[in-house]
Amino acid sequence: MGDQSVVVKRACPDCGASARVTIGAQSAKGELRYFESLRCPGCGCQQEADGRELDDDIRNALCAVHGRWSARVRDLGPDHPGALLALRRHLGLTPAEALHVVREARPIVHGALVEVERVQAQLEPAGIQLAIDRLPD
């Protein structure tokens, strides 16, 4: 699906100088992966990190450049009970909450585009179609 990246400045953990941090995130096959790579021109410090969930700092950096996104259920597909079960399983919703988000067309996820795309990929096998919208700044 999608890749997003951004470069930010952050204080070097070793010397306090301004370091360059490259942040990248990717959603593929219903999984999310991110990486951070810090390089300090002052002292030569280098750090790498990766993971499967975006923390608030990474999410906010990606959203500052690429926008904040949300998704709502547009169509449950032909198997409504199966689709509602998929919503419950992937999003941790109760049966009543799953019905409510569908009937009210409420957002089921919001954040960086890669986070929304991950949920979309998880729900597609159940026949669920999402409407994805960029939120106003």
User: What digits encode the pLDDT tens for the residues 68-120?
Assistant: 999 999 999 999 999 999 999 999 999 999 999 999 999 999 999 999 999 99
Cα-only R_g, the chain: 18
Q: What is the pLDDT of residue 112?
A: 96
Q: pLDDT value at position 29? A: 85
| CATH of the domain spanning 69-134 | 3.30.1390.10
Q: Is 45 exposed, middle or buried, given 0-12, 13-18 or 19+ CB atoms closer than 10 A?
A: middle
